Amino acid sequence: MDLSTQPVQNSMKPGKWVNSTCKMCLHSCVTRIHITDDGVVNKVEGHPTAPSNNGRLCPKGNAAILRHYDPTRFKTPLRRTNPEKGPGVDPKWEPISWNEALDIVGRELKRTMDEDRRKLLPAINDFQKLFLWAWPAAYGNANYFSSVGNFCGGGYHPMNGFVHSAFAAANDVNYCNYWINNGGGDGFSSHLHTAAQANHVAKARVERNMRVVVIEPRLSIGGAKANEWVPIRPATDRQFALGLCHVLVYEKLYDVKFLKKDTNAPYLVGPDGYFVRNAEGKIYVWDAGDGQAKLWDDPSIKDFALEGTYQVEGKECKPSFQKFKDILRDCTPEQMSEITTVPAENIRRIAREFAKAAQIGSFIEIEGRLLPLRPAGYNFYRGAQGHKYSAMTNQSFKLVNFLIGAIDTPGGHVGATLDDQMQEIRGGCGMINAGENGMMKTAPHQLHPEVPFSYPPNETHLMGYFPIGVDPGHLTQMTLENPEKFGLNYKPDTMLMCHSNPVWNLSGKREKWFEMMRGMRFIVAIDILPNESNEWADIILPAHDLLESWNLTMIEPPHHEGMCLRQPATEPLYDTKSEEEIFNEISERLGILEIWNTIQNFVNGFHQKPELLLDPKTKYGDKEIAERKGKLWNGQDLNWYIEHGHAVTPRKPEKWYRPWEGMRLHFYIEDILRARDDLKKKMEDANVAIRHEWEWYDYQPLPTPKLDPVHEEPQEFDMYAITFKDIQINFGESIGNPWINDIVFKDPVHTTVLLNTATAKAKGLANGDIVRIESPYGSIVARVSASQGVHPETVCVSNALSRIATQNSAVRLGGGNFNELLPANLKNTDACSGQPETVAKVKLTKLTVMPAEFMASNSAYAHGRGH
């Protein structure tokens, strides 16, 4: 045999391919995995038949093999033997058997259960196994000790629920020609099936000449690829959007027909902010044709008035559109320019270009359905919406889309469900339902049903006080610091983490989190690799990794739908179990297996097909759950999925475009006022002490230009620090994967914090200088690089620099956790949605002494970059 002709490339070696799905971030790009005849996984590729990611993978997806073979993986259940706990303190793990580990966990959780079920702090974050998030409900607990969906979308998800009855939203890349991208990486670096979306957006840009305008404080990847990068002062995105709205409204560039017919913009609003209703509760509009008020569904209405002031039922009232117009009076491009630093003429020009590109009045026929064509959309995410007045901020972006009639229409801004089985699951969140008075029913709860109000509060993060938001885990710091003030009558002492890194992901002071962790009687972590949080655990329950387990998912897809299979490529390398098995075992030991199975039926939607229902007493493994999800999706069994890998198809137009046809959308969100007043009443009735401090202003039916409190920090904090994800990095989590490190730590964007060149010069900072970045709440340390691609008031801190002490020596230390700079308090949290402020006001001080962490051999700065 001539050796030199033997294929030596990994994918060409003798072996087999199996179909699977990536899980190196929360999305679900479809893969095929090559395994050698010797059973070694040696190549992961995109699956060529999947129309979502089109056979392509981002760098993280390409690095899955090294997660699988990572020597720091948890290999057996572990028990801590070092009673001392702290960041970087070696837990001195001792391997124990599964039985012993599960018995300990069962015993300790049982004890907590018997004492007070509320004393458990759960943190379960796996987006690909969303049903696991519901496990605490089986335990009888609604705490949530993590920031997932909250740091990024506290305001975003509820607002998508209000507007689209969906979890997420995306610009329709199939037809969009003018894409405003505000503070989100969609299509370039993060969010919404990163690798897949990058593919579709690149095609639209290059093959269809779609214009991209990126509004961000830093020249992100999106900014670099955009036709226009608009640098903006951080945390002023709402004001930018309101500036656009001003131009659209005052220059009459809006879609009158859409607003009158498909939204509640003509509904009359009374002085109390509620719609004006008759005795039966029917809402009035003003018929400009007849010059009189009529009920909204009166067939005789000639012309819905959008503007004007009227007297109806003895009340002075205005169409909600007029209410918005009134607000916009003080949102001229000039005024907004002062806040955002975006020149007024640019705000004007972009608004006009946007309206022009929207082709208001045009139609397109898709599958026999005549739909409004609006090839322009305002897209946004984490960076733009992650601010104090987040609900208002999100609504302001939506309203830009409303004004040009671009909601849920080809080319415009379209709602996207979380996992496409939502129709009937988790209480129907994501389902389109008719509401009252011709309006679509709002669905602000996109992750779990509302947590009931309680006083004393049952939840450390006060979720019962957020009738429309996403769990603000960070508030735990505030309440535990001052339990009397919040009436908290118990002290949590037990923690269960699964696929979660709260000590990393939450805002607030690390030292206070550490203190809290030290106070825990018992911590169990279900994980695959050491991280900042599970180094505090008493017991580690090691999970299979993505190449060893079964699953079926499709998570936050913008343009596609259909389940994707994960199947084991190899036998588990170590003595690990699937999360499904682990929770079954724990549940059984706690005597809650039956409840858990019932809840799984509910959250997975198995009740839609009774033959799929889990038998309450049986323990179902990952394979069986996966099989049922497949059958629920398309009736196909696991063998079908094993053969095809996935059931991905382009999103069905009837589901994607105007699924609410015939209902009116919420231009004006009265439900927010109702939520406020319900809460007020409940707090009054229960005599909740902090009700006077509650941030009542945050509940607005329409956005106002009020400045977020971050801008009011003391003057000496003269800069803004921002954080960002990137396509190479999953949070900070993929740092530690050698291939990811090899590309990430060669880019100044990720090895230093970036400052505008002129700012650096003015501050006497040169490249490579070490600075302390200090906010009123905490500080971190980093090296600086100057860049022309940064707003002059901004410091950009990559997630690659955010890791702190860890047991995983491949993780590079970056000088501190960005979240240290952020407040974990109510003042900087949107009381309407639970969204924390994610931008910090900071000052920079040049350090002359190299801090110790920079010298560590695994410092992000130590590697080839020393002075």
Ligand X SMILES: Nc1nc2c(c(=O)[nH]1)N[C@H]1C(S)=C(S)[C@@H](COP(=O)(O)OP(=O)(O)OC[C@H]3O[C@@H](n4cnc5c(=O)[nH]c(N)nc54)[C@H](O)[C@@H]3O)O[C@H]1N2
Which positions lie near ligand SF4, rule CB under 6 A? 22, 24-25, 27-29, 53, 57-58, 60-61, 193-195
Closer residue to another protein (CB): 142 or 786: 786
Closest CB 52 distance from another protein, rounded Å: 12
Q: DSSP label at 203?
A: H
**384 near 279, Cβ under 8 Å?**
no
**563 near 386, Cβ under 8 Å?**
no
Q: How far, in Å, CA of 60 to CA of 74, rounded?
A: 20
Q: What are phi and psi of 845, to 5 degrees?
A: -125, 130
Closer residue to ligand SF4 (CB): 61 or 705: 61
Whether the bond between 95 and the residue before it is cis, its omega within 30 degrees of 0, is no
Q: What are phi and psi of 718, to 5 degrees?
A: -95, 0
Figure out which of the listed residues 379, 723, 756, 807 binds another protein, where binding follows CB under 8 A.
Answer: 756
Closest CB 61 distance from ligand SF4, rounded Å: 3
Residue nearest to ligand X (CB): 383
Q: How far, in Å, CA of 379 to CA of 461, rounded?
A: 30
Q: DSSP label at 43?
A: E
Crossing angle of the two packed helices 237-250 and 390-403, in degrees rounded to 10? 30
Closer residue to ligand SF4 (CB): 186 or 698: 186
Per CB under 8 A, does 788 bind another protein? yes
Q: How far, in Å, CA of 508 to CA of 476, rounded?
A: 10
Figure out which of the listed residues 139, 144, 229, 602 binds another protein, where binding follows CB under 8 A.
Answer: 229
Closer residue to ligand SF4 (CB): 58 or 331: 58
Q: Near another protein by CB under 8 A, which window of 187-195, 236-244, 536-544, 682-690?
A: 187-195
Residue nearest to Mo ion (CB): 152
∠310-314-318 over CA atoms, to 5°? 25
Q: How far, in Å, CA of 9 to CA of 12, rounded?
A: 5
Q: Near another protein by CB under 8 A, which window of 9-17, 358-366, 395-403, 494-502?
A: 9-17
Closest CB 709 distance from another protein, rounded Å: 27
Per CB under 8 A, does 439 bind another protein? no
Q: Which does 682 bind (CB under 5 to 8 A by kind): another protein, ligand X, ligand SF4, none?
A: none
Q: Which does 212 bind (CB under 5 to 8 A by kind): ligand SF4, ligand X, Mo ion, none?
A: none
Residue nearest to ligand SF4 (CB): 61
Percentages helix, strand, coil for the chain (3-state, rounded to 5) are: 35, 20, 45
Question: Amino acid identity, residue 11?
Answer: S
Per CB under 8 A, does 738 bind another protein? yes
Q: Near another protein by CB under 8 A, which window of 34-42, 245-253, 322-330, 512-520?
A: 34-42
Closer residue to ligand SF4 (CB): 360 or 554: 554
Per CB under 5 A, does 721 bind Mo ion? no
Per CB under 8 A, does 65 bind another protein? yes
Figure out which of the listed residues 152, 195, 301, 439 binds Mo ion, where binding follows CB under 5 A.
Answer: 152
Closer residue to ligand SF4 (CB): 10 or 76: 10
Figure out which of the listed residues 143, 199, 730, 835 binds another protein, where binding follows CB under 8 A.
Answer: 199
Task: Kindly calculate the radius of gyration of the chain based on its CA atoms and give it in whole angstroms.
Answer: 27
Q: How far, in Å, CA of 660 to CA of 536, rounded?
A: 48
Q: Which spans of this chain sit near ligand X (rule: CB under 6 A)? A: 25-26, 125, 146-149, 151-152, 182-185, 190-191, 194, 215-218, 220, 232, 234-235, 237, 381-384, 498-501, 505, 526-529, 531, 543, 545-546, 579, 722-725, 727, 729-731, 733, 799, 802, 818-819, 839
Q: Which does 802 bind (CB under 5 to 8 A by kind): another protein, Mo ion, ligand X, none?
A: ligand X
Q: Which does 850 bind (CB under 5 to 8 A by kind): Mo ion, ligand SF4, another protein, none?
A: none
Q: Which does 687 bind (CB under 5 to 8 A by kind): Mo ion, ligand X, another protein, none?
A: none
Q: How far, in Å, CA of 474 to CA of 488, rounded?
A: 16
Total binding residues for another protein by CB under 8 A? Answer: 83
Q: How far, in Å, CA of 145 to CA of 759, rounded?
A: 38
Q: How far, in Å, CA of 395 to CA of 323, rounded?
A: 14
Closest CB 101 distance from Mo ion, rounded Å: 30
Count of other CB atoms within 10 angstroms of residue 483: 15
Task: Write the CA distances from 628 to 427, 592, 614, 623, 649, integer angstroms.
Answer: 19, 21, 9, 9, 19
Pairing of strands 315-319, 310-312: antiparallel
Task: Write the CA distances from 756 to 262, 317, 721, integer angstroms.
Answer: 45, 49, 12
Closer residue to ligand SF4 (CB): 25 or 478: 25
Q: Indicate the SS3 state at residue 377.
A: strand
Q: Which does 700 bind (CB under 5 to 8 A by kind): ligand SF4, ligand X, Mo ion, none?
A: none
Closest CB 646 distance from ligand X, rounded Å: 19
Closer residue to ligand SF4 (CB): 89 or 206: 206
Q: How far, in Å, CA of 239 to CA of 400, rounded?
A: 12
Closest CB 2 distance from another protein, rounded Å: 12
Task: Write the CA distances from 47 to 5, 21, 526, 564, 565, integer angstroms.
Answer: 27, 9, 29, 11, 11
Task: Indicate the burial class of 687 (C-beta count within 10 angstroms; 0-12, 13-18, 19 or more).
Answer: exposed
Figure out which of the listed residues 23, 80, 118, 225 binds another protein, where binding follows CB under 8 A.
Answer: 225
Binding residues for another protein restricted to 798-837, rule: CB under 8 A: 810
Per CB under 8 A, does 529 bind another protein? no
Figure out which of the listed residues 96, 202, 856, 862 binds another protein, where binding follows CB under 8 A.
Answer: 202
Q: Which does 785 bind (CB under 5 to 8 A by kind): ligand SF4, ligand X, another protein, none?
A: another protein
Q: Which does 24 bind (CB under 5 to 8 A by kind): ligand SF4, another protein, ligand X, none?
A: ligand SF4
User: Tokens 């001229």, residue?
Assistant: 332
Closer residue to another protein (CB): 44 or 663: 44
Q: How far, in Å, CA of 286 to CA of 271, rounded?
A: 16
Per CB under 5 A, does 336 bind Mo ion? no
Closer residue to ligand SF4 (CB): 231 or 736: 736
Q: Residue 831: which of 286, 366, 464 has the closest Cα?
A: 464
What residues make contact with Mo ion under the rule CB under 5 A?
152
